Structure 1
Amino acid sequence: MDQQQPPADRDPSGEGGATRFCYRHPDRRTGITCTRCDRPICSECMISASVGFHCPECVRSGGGTGHHPAASRPRTLTGGAVAADPRLVTKILLAINVAVFAAVWLTGRSWLVQDLMLIGRAWDPQPFPGGWTGVAEGQWYRLLTSMFLHEELLHIAFNMLGLWWLGGPLEAALGRVRFLALYLLSGLAGSALTYWISAQNQGSLGASGAVFGLLGATVVLMRRMNYDLRPVLVILALNVLFSLRSGIAWQAHLGGLIAGTLIAVALVHAPRARRNAVQFGACALVLAVTVVIVFARTAALT
């Protein structure tokens, strides 16, 4: 039986013959072909199958193999289910962020900011009579809700551009469940590190931690696919430098970047025989560390 090889191990010129280009992306050179129709496909279009890789059209048509659907169900590079819309979760996350941003502006901001942003302990009661309560008082939901909260147009514009640019290819490569886990756990890790290191009355909000997690995962995936890393490394370096500016929650960026990178390594490099155990075990470990950090910081503040 032929062994399935990852695209990083293939000769980009394709069996020593003439250079071929993806039929859906004519500007992309590839040595991978669909095992059903023999059309050349790039790493974004290829869909992992029981033997080799299939193109999207053959997957949608069923290929006429006659096998039970479950026997040859196409999978992504990391073993996730292939979806008809590879950007669905990305679109939903983007829509939630935009909806919360619109709600903040339409309601005059104050009550949503007060109730959703990340804050460690009680805030100075001014300008909100009665003061704020935070994570240390039991409002752990702020670690999650702050990820979807933005106040400035430029802030949400940059984060949503990053989510759209990075999220689509990652969701296609990882599958919906794994991509959503990567996004949420990166954001939570960023919130936890902010809560741990920042002053207890320092507010924080935004999807930057989750976006930095996607950026770290993109580096891991591109290295796995043997792509040129220089463009994404330049973007990463620029974002790190930008994070050092005053007023930027660099703790969220760092926490998200570390968590996203670690999770992506487990997702992309997990051995096929123990793929699910390694992948979801890594996600569980990142979540456990996040919870420990939150518990430790809460104990120190109470």
Structure 2
Amino acid sequence: MDCLAGSARAVPRWRNVAGASRTGKPVIVPGLIVANVAVFVLTVVTAGSLNRNFASPWFAEGALVPALVANGEYWRIVTSGFLHVGPLHLAFNMFALWIIGREVETVLGRARFVAVYGVSLLGGAAAVMLLSNPLGPTAGASGAVFGLMGALFVLLRRLKLPAGQVIGVIALNVVISFTIPQISWQGHLGGLVFGAAVTAALVYPGAVAQNRRRVQIVAISGLALLGLLLIGAGAAFL
């Protein structure tokens, strides 16, 4: 994947394919990993168990439960993305975030990366609100991580680099999402679709260079609003 970052840096005028300037080493991805690990440690300590950390009151107050979101507990849309059930769940998501997230942040730049991650989180939550058990709790950074997978695929296509490996990883994870019980395929697919969509809006601006940022802001805002509207629709039907 190093060729992805290399191709992005090769764009003239110190601007990459998304219009971002060089940002050096990624800082958002390590920050997100630290935040997720810190929240996990908090749930382990308050639950008194490593593998049953979901018994923590913090977990109960932060997991995404559609019926509770519909009842006004909207913070769960965000907090659920930082909660994990057991060390394996955390380790898998953080490994994927580290491997994929660094590449995406390097290419998009920090602000755009945050936009992709945040919109993917909203997209995953929207799918859960619309398609999941209203009383079932959902937790994990998987929706946002799937969004980064979608982002990486779009970036590779935009840079005309081979995307076969990424397609294989996405396909494998989609199959796993549907075949292993207690995995939120809704959150995964929602994050994947929204992550790919917002990245496409960033790297295919459809406008001349001087209007690129304006087009990007409008596109990101529109997709974020769509995610919120779908969450609201899911809440309204409960």
Report the TM-score, using the length of structure 1 for normalisation.
0.71
CA distance in 2, matches of 1:48, 1:203: 47
Instruction: Find the partner of 2:22 among 46, 70, 82.
Output: 82
Alignment of 1:212 with 2:158, yes or no, is no
1:46 aligns with 10
CA distance in 1, matches of 2:64, 2:193: 20
Asked if the contact 2:147/2:196 (under 8 Å) is kept, the reply is: yes
- Comparing both chains, which one has the higher relative contact order based on Cα–Cα distances under 8 Å and sequence gaps of 6 or more? 2
2:200 aligns with 265
**CA displacement at 1:45 relative to structure 2:** 4.2
**CA displacement at 1:273 relative to structure 2:** 3.6
2:91 aligns with 157
Report the TM-score, using the length of structure 2 for normalisation.
0.90
Asked if the contact 1:117/1:145 (under 8 Å) is kept, the reply is: yes
Classify 1:48/1:146 alpha carbon distance in 2 versus 1 (closer, same or farther; 3 Å). farther
Asked if the contact 2:153/2:167 (under 8 Å) is kept, the reply is: yes
CA distance in 2, matches of 1:262, 1:43: 21
How do residues 1-302 of structure 1 correspond to structure 2 at under 5 angstroms?
42-46=6-10, 48-49=12-13, 74-85=14-25, 87-108=26-47, 109=53, 110-121=56-67, 134-244=68-178, 245-270=180-205, 271=207, 272-301=209-238
CA distance in 2, matches of 1:296, 1:248: 23
Cα deviations by residue, 1:74-100 (Å, 9 ceiling, x for unpaired): 333211232233x10111111111111
* Consecutive unaligned residues in structure 1, runs of 5 or more: 1-24, 29-40, 50-73, 122-133
**CA displacement at 1:44 relative to structure 2:** 4.9
Asked if the contact 2:9/2:15 (under 8 Å) is kept, the reply is: no
CA distance in 2, matches of 1:75, 1:154: 38
SS at match of 1:107: helix
CA distance in 1, matches of 2:9, 2:20: 14
Cα deviations by residue, 1:30-74 (Å, 9 ceiling, x for unpaired): xxxxxxxxxxx931543641xxxxxxxxxxxxxxxxxxxxxxxx3
Q: How many correspondences in the alignment?
A: 227
Asked if the contact 1:182/1:264 (under 8 Å) is kept, the reply is: yes
**CA displacement at 1:211 relative to structure 2:** 0.4
| Larger-gyration structure (1/2) | 1
Give 2:82's aligned amino acid. F
- Tell me which protein shows more helix as a share of its residues: 2
CA distance in 2, matches of 1:42, 1:216: 19
CA distance in 2, matches of 1:77, 1:214: 16
Classify 1:182/1:148 alpha carbon distance in 2 versus 1 (closer, same or farther; 3 Å). same
Bigger Cα displacement from structure 2, 234-243 vs 223-232:
223-232
Query: What RMSD, in angstroms, separates the aligned Cα atoms of the two structures?
Result: 1.8
* Consecutive unaligned residues in structure 2, runs of 5 or more: 48-52
Asked if the contact 2:122/2:228 (under 8 Å) is kept, the reply is: no
CA distance in 2, matches of 1:177, 1:251: 26
